[in-house]
Structure 1
Amino acid sequence: MQTIPSAAPVFILHGKADGKDTTMNTMLRLLLRNTLLLGFALWSATSVQIAAAVPGTNMPMPSQQQIDQFKRLSPEQQRALAEQYGINLDELIQSGNPNQPQFQESNLPNARPTLNDNSMFNRQKPGENEQTAEGEEDTENAEEGLRQFGYELFAGVPEAFTPAADIPPPDSYVLGPGDNLVIQLYGKENASYNLTINRDGQIQFPEIGPINLAGLSFNQARSQLMETVQEQMIGVKASITMGTLRSIRIFVLGEALKPGSYTVSSLSTMTNALFASGGISKIGSLRNIQLKRQGKLITTLDLYDLLLQGDTSKDARLLPGDVIFIPPIGATVGVDGEVKRPAIYELKNERRAMDVINLAGGFTPTAFPPASKIERINQQGDRTLVDLNLSQPEGKNTTVRNADTIQVYSVLDSKEGVVTLKGHVERPGDFAWKPGMRVSDLIGGMDALLPLPDLNIALIERERQPTREKYALTFDLGEALLEPGGSENLALKPHDTIYVFDYETPRSKQLSQLVNRLKLQASKSMRQQTVTVSGYVRFPGKYPLGPKMTAQDAVALAGGLSENAYGLHGEITRITYDEDEEQNIQHLIVNLANARTQDIQAEDELRIKRLPNWLDQEIVTLEGEVKFPGKYKIKRGETLAQVIERAGGLNEWAYPEGAVFTREELRKLEEQRIKELRQRLESEIAASNVEQQSPDQEVAMEDAEALLENLNQVKPLGRMVIDLTAVIEKDYSIELRNGDSLTVPRTKQAVTVVGEVQFPTSHIFESNLNTEQYIERSGGLTRKADDERIYVVKANGRVFLPQKSGWFAGKGYRIEPGDTVVVPLDADRIKTLTLWTSVSQIFYQIALGAAAIATF
């Protein structure tokens, strides 16, 4: 077959000639012309679009592979290739019409099979899918278990397989039609020729004539040419090398992923052809790939030789018309577990279990061959297990059968001859156990502990042999380390775990696994070996119960008594069952001062009580005009007057009538009340917006929404109205609570007017002015004011409402320094807002209280 010299890619023409007088060179020229037309149009900046086929020819359009090859050439290579076949690229650009319809793949004529299109040979077997990408295949393997060995060799094979063109052919390479020879003459004459062997097996040597080379090896042809040149061209010598190689047609049949006819390089081997066909399907054999030539079996290829040993000696070179036949897969055996390559392997000459293990790469370092098994399907179709000791000759020589699965187990995860140190130590971890080893030998000494350890107690988790049930032992850590010869320095056993505690980390987390294990071990005959410590200890919780554990040990295991614990007595709640299995609950008093003698039993609860009359630290705050402001600790029952006396009393600038007293629990109630009012007000505003309203009502609704916005920003104070003068004079007392606060302002000199007045502001106090006159000084009422609900918020927080008979009357309603006159919005203007008055009043009260405190 004619090939293209120089650096151009090889454009292979697939299929046979149509039987006319068209020569192979003419066909290739037409195909190349089509490729150049389309390839250059795609490459050039003019984006020329061409029709689906070149007029006047029956040739198919070039494949995408050929187009991509042309586009990868440099512009100089493209022009040189075009000129070689009589195509002017400049004229092609000028003749391009951008208005032509865009090239569509669906308009292509039916092409004959190529490397990328073997549809005429494709046959997909039922249930067989094409090979997926490597990542997807790995995911499927993870779900399905073992994968078949070797088939991933063909994963991710490029669609266009082209063997390397720069590999020098061996001397034994047999020449044939289509091979190209490069002949360099030197000496008396200098010339260079690229000569291709034609269909008759000859080259046309200038000045010499035709020479038959087909069927000769490259070495023989080279020797013959050199002799011919020396004989017929006196004084001239020749250097002969191989140029481009011919392509050959071969067949890949059987269980290939894409069986069919393929055109490959004449240097291709059996594996090259397998790659070109996409690989082998999962039901195809990797170990008996047959090469047939003219109906005769030439050789067989075992891909395991290539995969496992890198042996390519059986990878035979192909000749035109060769058939590679892939038969169905043979017997298979799976190997799983502790082998280097767990997979399903195809058997060839392997008969013994150890032969299959060797296919899998042998055992891993953590394998335990004596505990291996074979999963086998017997003659009745049942799955059975066969014990297999692969450390003995008998086990190694066990005969394997088709569909067997060998399972090789690992050594146990548990460590033998070790002890473990956990918790508040410098170097926790596993350590080698030695006979006679004790606690102090493992820990080392006090310097091996982290700062602030609990030296009163530590715990050993131990196994009871041979059942390996867990139980706990407690000991005095400080005594064990300081007195190595004492009884607390316990001897250790293999698998012991020592827990060292501190006073910060909750111990329930450290001991949770052991406690859960003790729960699982509980039975009818042995109750759960745990004890619960509750009440006033550092770390209340459920703890392991050790042999002969006392109440004092249980308290120490819980971190000891807390600061407010009652240290004289505790209470043990014990549940027992009589002969009739009736439950009895006992409450036992334990003397904590002598708790070392009081044993505690399984599932007991030890409760530590709180000190009677224990008062947690309570603090109140005095601010403002007191002689010694600050925070004061109080005792239960202490009153406000007593604390003021401790603070030196009020100074000469104090204004007791304006004092602000706040309490935390009132603040929380106030916060809840505001939240409820806010929600109800939002609902009523939303309902009012649905109704049709007059212009005045719309303005009023805007005011309501503004008030709601202010209410959302209000922070409750928890103010309680008091008469500080009466408190100091002890006319009545206020018992203090934790978090109470008293703010005593400086003497007030102003009266404030807020709400629906023309100019809300503060005015200097004048004793001869009444409420109405202060309102007039603020410009009078606005159109939206409610003159029947005007009220006064006194400096101490009390609220006085107007009388029905008119403005304010009586001595109690006299305006005083620090008072605030509030003119509310006329709530009747918004009939649907029933909460308006309550919300506005709360808002003003909180705002005024906050303003009073803010002055400090």
Structure 2
Amino acid sequence: MQKKVSAVPEPILRGKPDGNWNNMITKTHLIKYFFSLLIALFLTSVTAFGFTPTKQQIEMFKSLSPEQQKALASQYGVDLNDLGLGGSSAQPDLGQSQNQPNTRPTLQDTSMFNRADDQPAGDTDAQSEPTKKKTELRQFGYDLFGDTPDAFTPVADVPPPDSYVLGPGDNLVIQLYGKENSSYNLVVNRDGQIQLPEIGPITLAGLTFSDARQLLMDTVTQQMIGVKASVTMGSLRSIRIFVLGEALQPGSYTVSSLSTMTNALFASGGISKIGSLRNIQLKRQGKLITTLDLYDLLLNGDTSDDARLLPGDVIFIPPIGATVGISGEVKRPAIYELKKENNVIDAIQLAGGFTPTAFPAASRIERIDYKGDRTLVDANLTQSSGKNIKVKDADVIRVYSVLETMEDVVMLEGHVERPGGFAWRQGMRVTDVIRSAEELLPFPDMNIALIEREVQPTREKVVVTFNLGKALSNPTGPDNLELKTRDKIYVFNFEETRTDQLQELVERLKLQANKDLRKQTVIVSGYVRFPGEYPLGANMSARDAVTLAGGLTENAYGLRGEITRVTYSETEEQSIEHINVDLANSAAQNLKEEDELHIKRLPNWLDQEVVTIEGEVKFPGKFKIKRGETLTQVIERAGGLNEWAYPEGAIFSREDLRMLEAERLKELRSKLESDIAAANIEQQTIEQKVAMEDANDLLESLNAVRPLGRMVIDLNSIIAGRGQAIQLKDGDKLVIPRKKQAVTVVGEVQFPTSHIFEANLDAKQYIERSGGTTQKADDNRIYVVKANGRVFLPEPSGWFKAGKYQIEAGDTVVVPLDADRIKPLTLWTSVSQVFYQIALGAAAVASF
């Protein structure tokens, strides 16, 4: 049966565009004509204008045969001597001799013309780039002439066969022994004779080597009493042959006398893509001697038709014959030349036959009919009617493969010991695939499993859920479902999410949805173990959906859930309704397509909140708290402060404050980097440049700071009940240090360090003990950070009033950098203060 199609991808026969040989042959003649025209212009230029031809032009002229050179030179009145071509046109010997055993044959200067449109198999063809992208098949056999022609050069140092015919130029080595011992190396002259001393001329030309050897041995025995002869071949003569037609580089060649047709083909560069591999002709004195079919060599290793060459032989390569492309499930997909192959099965044999995965019953032939239209022909290559279909030129036979999908099989996937396929049979059930719980991996979800099933003939996917534990424990029960061919069973891990495992199935269900068939999926959200989108099983209840999502979490409200459903009226108006569903009822309302089941949290559920008490308490550690519990209460649970506690230096940190502090630091970093970048662009004095280096150092330090989230508290007042009670939150931390005996001085002083606390010293005196301030210090903005984190600024006079801001053990005196020194950096003051505060807090925490 033939089917007419509007467009079938056309395999481009390389070197044979659109199967039209006339176009290619015309192209060849045009190239020849264009080449001759170039030579004519070259010679005209030489004679008329007297200019010196380029090397490329001379080489182009040299590529012609001597007869063509003389004819053109005579026509345009050019002396070949002026071009350096008037001497002997002796050509290099391409043959292998005893003196040159490893010389590769080279092309002769008498190459008739260079085929610009014929290129080696590995080179770019004269096809457009879009055409190449459509190419699927390559012509068979032409890569034989690719990169290793030396492998096909005749070997010169092997003994010639007895059938070798002697001719002028052959060398014979004759060893005489017996009454007289001597050795002669004799060459057959142009008369076909050798001159054997003491005997005279002996004619050998035309004799086989076997006959010539016997003749010489008999002659010596008869004419030289008591002397015998041993005859061997010396160096072989070279012969001149012609390779014409569709060779890559047709011309005349000098080759070894042992050369065969294939040796000559390699010497000429091989066969062009428009040349025939199956009808290579050997002509001798105008008569056809034999034909060579290279397919016999390539497919069968048969060299019986590879005839040995004689002087003057002509190897003629005609244009390629009818071709057929064979693609798909065959062993050697390619484009083949037809010879005696008449039907499809013969052509398939050229391609090596079918592969094991071929489905010959579903084969097709792309063909050009008598109208020039492309058609398809169905071919069942398992039947004689399909095998015997006649093949035509430019046919493309496509053999398709067997289907990737398997029939009569059940697949098992997921949390099992041996996933894979099982042979399906009528009446097969779940327990025939999973025989016991021992075939499952540890911690399987026994409460639910899922079957993906195809609905014939459309193969749409549907889902069925069942209780795996009940199926295994009660094989006769309803959960041990009967399986159908191509079912896939999913078994889940109880401890891991199953949304990834079901993602492909969910996507497939979405793809098959349309206006009449909504997505067969549901969304389970809220307080379930694995929220997500799941396949909607047949008659799936809300409780089934929760089980498929891994079950409820510990804080889930397990009595009721809420279904959000989108519905459409007869006028296709959309509405949304919310339905409360009783989860305790196993027969609760069934879900529908695209429903969302939401599970709420238990009312007044409290997640476990933990705070940490460290340092100088009787029982430091982590404490679980209830809502509204205060810091004082937790300190009491920790046994209260011990005798070494220093409540004035207590550090209280909170997680939400730490996050706010981190955000602030991030903003300050960004703004400070922008200010530094802007200041670097402006012209600066030497002093400003030094200050900018300080700013960069501070920025690096700021990048290394980790936020603490400290909240300043007066622990003594809180414990005594005088201060406001602090209600604790999850993650709060209280650190109570030991009593301190030092005062620390940091910032722009000569030697930042800590000093033993002395009650009679003030801030200025502690600074003097650290060597005083540096030139970069801001003396007017010195401040003190108390042990509990509070900051005291100086009085307008510049220093602290005596008694009001008494320096105590654990305090820190901070001498900031003079921000006015870096006028472009407007954020300098804020950044430096934040840095010192965080750094001091972190140091206090790390000090015990």
TM-score category, normalised to shorter length: 0.7 to 0.9
Give 1:130's match in structure 2, choosing from 101, 120, 123: 120
Give 1:842's match in structure 2, choosing from 817, 822, 834: 834
Q: Secondary structure at the match of 2:663?
A: helix
Q: Secondary structure at the match of 1:165?
A: coil
1:483 aligns with 2:509: no
Aligned twin of 2:60: none
1:826 aligns with 2:826: no
Q: CA deviation at 1:377?
A: 0.7
Instruction: Report Cα offsets for 1:3-44 as digits up to 9, x if no partner.
Output: xxxxxxxxxxx99999xxxxxxxxxxxxxxxxxxxxxxxxxx
CA distance in 1, matches of 2:318, 2:392: 20
Question: Would the alpha carbon gap of residues 264 and 771 (structure 1) be closer, same or farther in structure 2, given more than 3 Å must change?
Answer: same
Give 1:743's match in structure 2, choosing from 735, 741, 763: 735
Q: Secondary structure at the match of 1:462?
A: strand
Please, which moves more after superposition, 826-835 or 431-440? 826-835
Instruction: Report Cα offsets for 1:296-347 as digits up to 9, x if no partner.
Output: 1111111122222222221111100101000000111111122222211111
Q: Which amino acid aligns with 1:584?
A: S
Question: Would the alpha carbon gap of residues 262 and 541 (structure 1) be closer, same or farther in structure 2, given more than 3 Å must change?
Answer: same
Q: Secondary structure at the match of 1:444?
A: coil
Q: Secondary structure at the match of 1:409?
A: strand
1:656 aligns with 2:673: no
CA distance in 2, matches of 1:435, 1:480: 18
1:198 aligns with 2:189: yes
Aligned twin of 1:509: 500
Q: Secondary structure at the match of 2:820?
A: helix
Instruction: Report Cα offsets for 1:235-261 as digits up to 9, x if no partner.
Output: 111111212211111111111122111
Aligned 1:745-784 pairs, distance under 5 A: 745-784=737-776
8 Å CA contact 1:792–1:801 kept in 2: the answer is yes
Question: Would the alpha carbon gap of residues 643 and 338 (structure 1) be closer, same or farther in structure 2, given more than 3 Å must change?
Answer: same
Q: Which amino acid aligns with 1:466?
A: P
Question: Would the alpha carbon gap of residues 675 and 646 (structure 1) be closer, same or farther in structure 2, given more than 3 Å must change?
Answer: same
Q: Which amino acid aligns with 2:323?
A: T
Q: Which amino acid aligns with 2:472?
A: L
Give 1:681's match in structure 2, choosing from 668, 672, 677: 672
Q: CA deviation at 1:161?
A: 6.0
Question: Would the alpha carbon gap of residues 682 and 125 (structure 1) be closer, same or farther in structure 2, given more than 3 Å must change?
Answer: closer
Q: Secondary structure at the match of 2:218?
A: helix
Instruction: Report Cα offsets for 1:156-200 as digits up to 9, x if no partner.
Output: 133796311233222111100111112222211222222221222
Q: Secondary structure at the match of 1:369?
A: strand
CA distance in 1, matches of 2:705, 2:101: 74
Q: CA deviation at 1:749?
A: 1.0
Aligned 1:168-317 pairs, distance under 5 A: 168-317=159-308
Question: Would the alpha carbon gap of residues 141 and 147 (structure 1) be closer, same or farther in structure 2, given more than 3 Å must change?
Answer: farther
CA distance in 1, matches of 2:778, 2:95: 91
Instruction: Report Cα offsets for 1:728-769 as digits up to 9, x if no partner.
Output: 223212222222221111111111222233333222222222
CA distance in 2, matches of 1:63, 1:192: 28
Q: What TM-score does the superposition give when structure 2 sets the normalisation length?
A: 0.85
CA distance in 2, matches of 1:690, 1:822: 32
CA distance in 2, matches of 1:63, 1:626: 107
Aligned twin of 1:466: 457
Identity of counterpart residues, as a percentage? 70
Give 1:556's match in structure 2, choosing from 542, 547, 552: 547
Question: Would the alpha carbon gap of residues 524 and 164 (structure 1) be closer, same or farther in structure 2, given more than 3 Å must change?
Answer: same
CA distance in 2, matches of 1:17, 1:573: 96
Q: Secondary structure at the match of 1:599?
A: coil
CA distance in 1, matches of 2:465, 2:322: 61
Q: Secondary structure at the match of 1:297?
A: strand
Instruction: Report Cα offsets for 1:387-406 as digits up to 9, x if no partner.
Output: 11222222222111111111
Question: Would the alpha carbon gap of residues 122 and 590 (structure 1) be closer, same or farther in structure 2, given more than 3 Å must change?
Answer: same
Aligned twin of 1:645: 636
Structure 1 unaligned segments of length 5 or more: list them.
1-13, 19-52, 74-112
Instruction: Report Cα offsets for 1:432-468 as digits up to 9, x if no partner.
Output: 1122211111111111111100000111111222332
CA distance in 2, matches of 1:739, 1:574: 40
Aligned twin of 1:44: none
Q: Secondary structure at the match of 2:438?
A: helix
8 Å CA contact 2:105–2:153 kept in 1: the answer is no
8 Å CA contact 1:574–1:603 kept in 2: the answer is yes
Aligned twin of 1:387: 378
8 Å CA contact 1:337–1:408 kept in 2: the answer is yes
8 Å CA contact 2:320–2:337 kept in 1: the answer is yes
Question: Would the alpha carbon gap of residues 683 and 757 (structure 1) be closer, same or farther in structure 2, given more than 3 Å must change?
Answer: same
Please, which moves more after superposition, 622-631 or 676-685? 676-685
Instruction: Report Cα offsets for 1:537-577 as digits up to 9, x if no partner.
Output: 12212222222111111111111112221111110011111
Aligned twin of 1:793: 785
Aligned twin of 2:328: 337
8 Å CA contact 1:147–1:344 kept in 2: the answer is yes
Aligned twin of 1:665: 656
CA distance in 2, matches of 1:264, 1:671: 88
8 Å CA contact 1:116–1:160 kept in 2: the answer is no
1:718 aligns with 2:719: no
Q: CA deviation at 1:117?
A: 5.1
Q: Secondary structure at the match of 1:370?
A: strand
Instruction: Report Cα offsets for 1:563-592 as digits up to 9, x if no partner.
Output: 221111110011111121111211000111
8 Å CA contact 1:133–1:155 kept in 2: the answer is no
Q: CA deviation at 1:669?
A: 2.2
CA distance in 1, matches of 2:273, 2:551: 68
Q: Secondary structure at the match of 1:680?
A: helix
Q: CA deviation at 1:693?
A: 4.2
Please, which moves more after superposition, 412-421 or 690-699? 690-699
Instruction: Report Cα offsets for 1:621-658 as digits up to 9, x if no partner.
Output: 22111111122222333222222111111111010111
CA distance in 1, matches of 2:380, 2:793: 101
Q: CA deviation at 1:601?
A: 1.2
Instruction: Report Cα offsets for 1:477-517 as digits up to 9, x if no partner.
Output: 00101111111111111111111111234322222222222
Aligned 1:56-71 pairs, distance under 5 A: none
Q: CA deviation at 1:428?
A: 0.7
Larger RCO (alpha carbons 8 Å, 6+ apart): 2
Q: Secondary structure at the match of 1:300?
A: strand
CA distance in 2, matches of 1:547, 1:338: 41
1:396 aligns with 2:387: yes
CA distance in 2, matches of 1:689, 1:462: 69
8 Å CA contact 2:120–2:146 kept in 1: the answer is no
CA distance in 1, matches of 2:207, 2:634: 122
Q: Which amino acid aligns with 2:435?
A: G
Q: Secondary structure at the match of 1:454?
A: coil
Give 1:804's match in structure 2, choosing from 767, 775, 796: 796
Q: Which amino acid aligns with 1:826?
A: D
8 Å CA contact 1:335–1:405 kept in 2: the answer is yes
Q: Secondary structure at the match of 1:355?
A: helix
8 Å CA contact 1:65–1:160 kept in 2: the answer is no
Q: Secondary structure at the match of 2:447?
A: strand
Structure 2 unaligned segments of length 5 or more: list them.
1-62, 68-83
Q: What TM-score does the superposition give when structure 1 sets the normalisation length?
A: 0.84
Q: CA deviation at 1:134?
A: 12
Q: CA deviation at 1:674?
A: 2.3
Q: Secondary structure at the match of 1:368?
A: strand
CA distance in 1, matches of 2:837, 2:650: 14
Question: Would the alpha carbon gap of residues 802 and 446 (structure 1) be closer, same or farther in structure 2, given more than 3 Å must change?
Answer: same
Question: Would the alpha carbon gap of residues 64 and 563 (structure 1) be closer, same or farther in structure 2, given more than 3 Å must change?
Answer: farther
Aligned 1:527-546 pairs, distance under 5 A: 527-546=518-537
CA distance in 2, matches of 1:273, 1:611: 93
Aligned twin of 1:375: 366
